[in-house]
Amino acid sequence: MYYDSKSRVIKCSDMWIVCDEDHIMTSWTADCPNGLSFMPNFYGYWNDLRSDSSLRYFIIDKSDYQKMEKFWKTCDSHEQRTHFTKKLMSNVTVFMHTMRYESQIYVRSIPAAPACTNLENRIFTEEVLEIIPIVLRQQGTPISDNHELLQKFRGFWKIGVDHLYNSITLTEFEQVLDLFGINKQLITIVEDPGHDSGRTEMREHGGYNKILSPDCTVILDPYQAVLYVFQALVPGVNWKTEKCPLHENCLKMLKIQIFEVLKEMTEVREVNG
């Protein structure tokens, strides 16, 4: 029914991104020429909410923020506003319910590493699983949380390793939406401005292009993670002649372990933490 529908895609090159240089991933705002403005759901409250293990990262627009300001005006203190924000903005499901499913649905995409610009952007599967019931509710074809196809994808995408986060390409994302009969026009795909700010910092100051995971953990994509492990452990050691003063086969075993870690990072479909 909606196979020919297309999601709107907004790239970072189409946005004017501003952020605090000391908190580039959490303080950004992004303005588009057409008047649209984006920000993270925890904008202005990151320091208050960052310790909340239930906090999930999603993108809101200026109209969403203005609606929240009306709620904040009813609060008597910063503590009360923080509590209110934590309650309503901790994840996109609660937020959309609060907004009566009238807000636009935004899904963030993560560009490939600078050395792999020929690759597609990717979307975290955890975020895909959360928005599917929301957009189906919005288009008038709701499903239950334990819907068979939804459960199938949860099982297929489950990793079971805390520091790994699964992701799919934009093409795969469209295919999944088609399987659920979703009108893709209801979804706007936004390149993560926080990731773009991190890339700018990496070019100017060196280091690594970090990303915020769905649960607000700072992570690296597989290519950045491999580079980090290699640069941290391999250079500066003569692996043929040097010996550990405490353990006879220490370097030999360390070399094997390094290869195992690098292999894990290059073989998974996930974005690594």
Encode pLDDT of 157-183 as tens digits.
998 777 789 999 999 999 999 999 999
Tell me if 214 sits within 8 A of 165, measured CB to CB.
yes
In a domain, 3, yes or no: no
In a domain, 259, yes or no: no
In a domain, 106, yes or no: yes
Tell me how far apart the alpha carbons of residues 67 and 77 are, in angstroms, rounded to a whole number. Answer: 18
In a domain, 264, yes or no: no
In a domain, 227, yes or no: no
Instruction: Specify the number of domains making up the chain.
Output: 1
Q: At what angle do helices 62-72 and 78-89 cross, to 10 degrees?
A: 130
Kindly state the percentage of the chain with pLDDT values over 70: 96
Instruction: Give tens-digit pLDDT for 204-228.
Output: 777 777 889 999 999 888 777 887 8
According to the model, what pLDDT value does residue 268 have?
59
Question: Is pTM beyond 0.75 here?
Answer: yes
In a domain, 216, yes or no: no
In a domain, 173, yes or no: yes
Q: What is the mean pLDDT of residues 39-63?
A: 95
Tell me how far apart the alpha carbons of residues 169 and 120 are, in angstroms, rounded to a whole number. Answer: 6
According to the model, what pLDDT value does residue 207 have?
75
What is the DSSP code string of 147-182? Answer: -HHHHHHHHHH----TTEE-EEEHHHHHHHHHHTT-
Tell me how far apart the alpha carbons of residues 32 and 219 are, in angstroms, rounded to a whole number. Answer: 27
Tell me if 190 sits within 8 A of 61, measured CB to CB.
no
Q: Is the dihedral of CA 21, 25, 28, 34 positive or negative?
A: positive
According to the model, what pLDDT value does residue 116 have?
64
Tell me how far apart the alpha carbons of residues 195 and 199 are, in angstroms, rounded to a whole number. Answer: 6
In a domain, 49, yes or no: yes
State the amino acid at position 26 in one-letter form.
T
Range of the domain at 181: 8-209
Q: What b/e readout covers 225-247, taking b as 16+ CB neighbours within 10 angstroms?
A: bbbebeeeeeeeeeeeeeeeeee
Say yes or no to pLDDT of 114 above 80: no
Beta strands in 207-264 (DSSP E): 210-212, 218-220
